[in-house]
Amino acid sequence: MASQNLQSVPPELSPDEREREQAGQAYFDRIISEDSRIEPRDWMPEAYRKTLLRQISQHAHSEIIGMQPEANWITRAPSLKRKAILMAKVQDEAGHGLYLYSAAETLGQSRDKMMDDLIAGKARYSSIFNYPAISWADMGAIGWLVDGAAICNQVPLCRASYGPYGRAMVRICKEESFHQRQGFEILLELSNGTEAQKQMAQDAVNRWYAPALMMFGPPDDDSPNSKQSMAWNIKRFSNDELRSRFVGMMVEQVKVLGLTLPDDQVRFNEETKKWEHGPLDWNEFKDVLAGRGPCNAQRLERRREAHDDGAWVREAAAEYARKQAEKEYAA
Ligand code: FAQ
């Protein structure tokens, strides 16, 4: 692999530049083969930088857009305690977005550019956030299933080969674990409540289950990025592998909830030692990615409004920074 990469060094470079590129590539290959970390100032192949930027910026956008389905319920939380918890959770998601935008910035992309791409509808964010949250039980299902899937996908990313990404993921995963527990607890309380409350919890699980499984991305044979991302130690497991682990976790937890998964084909395959699930509607997934999900337009519109509403904050912060710099210069 290393020799293939060396051959890809552009021939038009001067001999000095070529030598530097080759030394950089050799260093990069050694770090990856030792399962160690690449840091922002290290030489890295352009394709590695672009892959990271793609994944980290999409991830950051997901956290920010992902605030919307739950923020929608803050004013309708059933008690003051629930309201305080939900507000804290939504704020945590904003924090995750900020750590991730900062990690992406170390790859040479400005946050403004990333935000512009999101608002212009050019950037991806997780498919899951294009589904509506229509009852209070959805707060439970989002915490349990969506944060649960996020943890399953993101714990291995704590070992991602790019230092700033892996380190950001450590803190994010700790907070996501708390989020999952609070979602589980909402569902547990509803499930142990009246028949109507239990039904509301089951309905939420029924609606969020398949979209949560699709969060892991397309099946392995339809995942163009996985192979290279795994060779670079960015992703550690394939999309299907993680999806199967997630199903295995949920199948046990749902029993404690006294609810069921809306999938009668879940089973542990003794031969492959993997959990299997029923078919997923990948056409629906493609539609959501193409902008035709139930809430795509609404999510982007809300993001644009929030961006416009925040213009005065950005202007004030820039002005404050300018005045501080002026003071320092004068001192
Ligand atoms: N949604 O070749 P692959 C959260 C795209 S955070 C939309 O398999 P890759 C916390 C993919 O980008 C949730 N697009 O791609 C929270 C690629 O398109 P591109 C976000 C998707 O990168 C909870 C194309 O399909 N988590 O939930 C999706 O190797 C509650 C081909 O796919 C992360 O971002 C999808 N589900 O694997 C917040 C984790 N799946 O870019 C608020 C980090 C695939 O070539 C409330 N990311 N695509 O145009 C990853 O682990 C990976 O990027 C995957 C996709 C696994 C998502």
Give the model's confidence band at 12: pLDDT under 50 very low, under 70 low, under 90 confident, else very high.
Answer: confident
Beta carbons of 61 and 30 less than 8 angstroms apart: no
Q: Whose CA is nearest to atom 53 of ligand 1?
A: 55
Q: What is the per-residue pLDDT across 254-294, written as a single tens digit (0 to 9) for each? A: 999 999 999 999 999 999 999 999 999 999 999 999 999 99
- pLDDT for res 130: 98
Under the banding of pLDDT at 50, 70 and 90, the label for residue 8 is low
**298 domain-assigned:** no
Residues 6+ apart with CB under 8 A from 211: 127, 128, 131
pLDDT bucket at 58, cuts 50 / 70 / 90 = very high
Answer yes or no: is the C-beta of 54 below 6 A from any ligand 1 atom. Answer: yes
Q: Is residue 44 part of a domain?
A: yes
The answer to whether position 1 is within a domain reads: no
202 found inside a domain: yes
Ligand 1 centre from 97 Cα, in Å? Answer: 14
Q: Is the CB of 153 under 6 A from ligand 1?
A: yes
Q: Which pLDDT score is estimated for 3? A: 40
- Cβ of 49 below 6 Å from ligand 1: no
**What percent of the chain clears pLDDT 90, i.e. is strictly above it?**
94
Is the CB–ligand 1 distance for residue 63 below 6 Å? yes
Q: What is the pLDDT of residue 9?
A: 57
Q: What is the mean pLDDT of residues 87-94?
A: 98
Residue 65, domain CATH: 1.20.1260.10
Residue 55's CB is within 10 A of a number of other CB atoms, namely 21
Residue 199 burial class via C-beta count within 10 angstroms: exposed 0-12, middle 13-18, buried 19 and up: middle
Question: What total of structural domains would you count in the chain?
Answer: 1
> How many angstroms separate the alpha carbon of residue 217 from the centre of ligand 1?
6
Under the banding of pLDDT at 50, 70 and 90, the label for residue 44 is very high
Is residue 166, in this structure, part of any structural domain at all? Answer: yes
Domain membership flag for residue 261: yes
Q: Does residue 55 have its Cβ closer than 6 Å to ligand 1?
A: yes
Residue 216 lies in a domain: yes
How much is the pLDDT for 139? Answer: 98
| Structural domain includes residue 148 | yes
DSSP 8-state class, residue 142: I
CB 73: neighbour CB atoms within 10 A? 20
Q: Per-residue pLDDT averaged across 304-323, rounded? A: 96
Q: Which amino acid is at 165?
A: Y
Which domain does 134 fall in, by range? Answer: 23-280
